[in-house]
Amino acid sequence: MSVETRKAVVLLSGGLDSATALAIARSEDYEIFALTFRYGQRHEVEIEAARRITSFFKVTQHVIAQIDLRAFGGSALTSDIAVPKGRTPDTMAQGIPITYVPARNTIFLSFALAWAEVLESNDIFIGVNAVDYSGYPDCRPEYIEAFMRMANLATKAGVEGRQQLKIHTPLISLTKAEIIRRGLYLGVDYSLTSTCYDPSPAGLACGCCDACTLRLKGFAENGLNDPVGYRTEFRHSI
Amino acid sequence: MSVETRKAVVLLSGGLDSATALAIARSEDYEIFALTFRYGQRHEVEIEAARRITSFFKVTQHVIAQIDLRAFGGSALTSDIAVPKGRTPDTMAQGIPITYVPARNTIFLSFALAWAEVLESNDIFIGVNAVDYSGYPDCRPEYIEAFMRMANLATKAGVEGRQQLKIHTPLISLTKAEIIRRGLYLGVDYSLTSTCYDPSPAGLACGCCDACTLRLKGFAENGLNDPVGYRTEFRHSI
């Protein structure tokens, strides 16, 4: 019996979550088409991380799409507003942080939808997470459901009944510690990933932005050291 | 009494429909923020048309966002597939044409959503049309409704109850002839617009692609000549 390989478009930022989502898609026997954005983010080293991850996992194709979200401003990740530092998971949970990029996941999923339509793929993977989600509205299950409904009305394949798009969110109800355990089980090499919102030019993580704080907590809860490099001044303090 | 001006993001391709949608938004006293995309389209002269239109209407801001839809392929408007010529409105209505760009309106509306959020605007205008719509799935009312539902779950402002986004589709139930009448009433100078899918380098319209055919029919039904230039070989045949 010949088994047809299903194609999946995987949104890959280069961080811990999306690397794990990619590993999960691969473990479910999807052929992987990884999609990364150069969107004017301050932390461009994550694009290098995405390249390392797609090379490690030998994906079929990796597109790095260039879009300019800086034209609209409004986020610490794309403009000159300072990235908040030193917050705890509890203080992060209050309100939506300045690192939120307006409509980012909507834009990313729209591009993934376009590519899925061209590939005749029914499956998009995104590593959003509603537990340690840092307060982003476009990481919630009800948002993902609404996007899926819209997407199935948007495309030629949807209208012609050839496509019933599914957005897979395998991490949505996992804690960061659970995501890391799952990824390690699937062979993810987390030293390849980049999570920090404000890394040094050499790619060393700051250790105290929201993303680093959640990541370090996840490794600590598993009794593990994070394999990525942190800045010296931070390493002295832990 | 001071009246606060409401801001609207208007998707402006440079064609007849979006120029009319912009004029309608302005007639409803919105402050206009026009958004045009350079998306690897073959007919880049429409971007020049968009510039002429925003200058004519003295909009507050005009952003031309660069995105690369060619990375995914799959459309005659962005790759080397031939644009269909010489079809009638009846033959166009059958199926979705090769000029359909996968998920284009979803991507465009996602960027408009991002900008609207930064501007604290509740209003996006898009010149989609479900009558002479050339068979594009993402021009139908049910699609627009689904996008709006999704958008109101996607944004910080939506979650915090500060935003209830509305996508205005003032042309959705008008014929091309009605759109032209409405635009002329509002002072649109259609000589500034560019509709053709396959214009000459000098910007002359081909006169026989789907877009030209619908446009010429609209002017003819109003007993008017289209003020834009057509190629000589075509002009001889009408």
| For chain A, counts of helices (H) and of strands (E) | 9, 5
Give A106's contacts in chain B (Cβ within 8 Å).
110, 113-114, 150-151, 154
Determine contact, residues A76/A96, Cβ cutoff 8 Å: no
Which has the higher per-residue pLDDT, A236 or B211?
B211
| pLDDT tens per residue across span B154-198 | 877 777 776 689 999 999 999 999 999 999 999 999 999 998 888
Range of A2-16, A124-138, B210-224 with top mean pLDDT: B210-224
Task: State the nearest Cα–Cα gap between B122 and chain A, in angstroms.
Answer: 14
Chain A's closest residue to B94, CA to CA, is A160
Query: pTM here?
Result: 0.87
CB–CB of B146 and A140 under 8 A? no
Determine contact, residues B70/B40, Cβ cutoff 8 Å: yes
pLDDT band with cut points at 50, 70 and 90 for residue B78:
low
CB–CB of B156 and A146 under 8 A? no
CA distance B213 to B197: 11
CA distance B200 to B232: 11
pLDDT band with cut points at 50, 70 and 90 for residue B67:
confident
pLDDT over 70 (residue B47)? yes
pLDDT band with cut points at 50, 70 and 90 for residue A99:
low
CA distance A22 to A226: 19
CB–CB of A149 and B147 under 8 A? no
**Percentage of residues of chain B with pLDDT beyond 70:** 82
Q: Which of B7, B107, B142, B148 is the best mutation test for A, with the most CBs of A within 10 A?
A: B107
Mean pLDDT of A8-22: 96
CA distance B37 to B50: 10
Chain A's closest residue to B147, CA to CA, is A150
Task: Tell me chain B's radius of gyration from C-alpha atoms.
Answer: 17
| pLDDT tens per residue across span B84-114 | 677 776 666 555 555 566 788 999 999 999 8
CB–CB of A107 and B102 under 8 A? no
What are the strands, taking DSSP E only, across B30-141?
Answer: 30-38, 61-66, 123-125
Q: Which of B178, B175, B86 is nearest to B132 (CA)?
A: B175
CB–CB of A137 and B156 under 8 A? yes
Choosing among 3.40.50.620, 3.30.420.40, 3.40.50.300, 3.30.300.30, the CATH entry for A6-195 is: 3.40.50.620
Chain B's closest residue to A115, CA to CA, is B72
Residue A28: predicted pLDDT: 97
Q: Which residues pair with residue A63 across a beta bridge? A: A35
Pure H helices in chain B: 16-27, 45-56, 89-92, 104-119, 141-154, 156-159, 176-185, 210-221, 232-235
pLDDT over 80 (residue A78)? no
**Percentage of residues of chain A with pLDDT beyond 70:** 82
Task: State the nearest Cα–Cα gap between B82 and chain A, in angstroms.
Answer: 17
Q: Which SS3 state, helix, strand or coil, does residue B18 take?
A: helix
Task: State the nearest Cα–Cα gap between B78 and chain A, in angstroms.
Answer: 13
For A82, counting Cβ atoms within 10 Å of its Cβ (0-12 exposed, 13-18 middle, 19+ buried), the class is exposed
CA distance A165 to A152: 6
Give the amino acid at A204: L
Give B143's contacts in chain A (Cβ within 8 Å).
150, 153-154
Chain A's closest residue to B66, CA to CA, is A67
Residue B81: predicted pLDDT: 56
Q: Which of A66, A107, A146 sits opposite B114 (nearest CB)?
A: A107
Residue B99: predicted pLDDT: 59
CB–CB of A154 and B114 under 8 A? no
Give the amino acid at B115: W
pLDDT over 80 (residue B2)? no
CA distance A231 to A198: 11
The structure tokens listed for A94 are 């209050």
CA distance B174 to A54: 48
Q: How many CB atoms lie within 10 A of CB B12?
A: 32
DSSP A151: H
Chain B's closest residue to A104, CA to CA, is B114
Residue A148: predicted pLDDT: 94
Has the ipTM of the complex gone over 0.90?
no
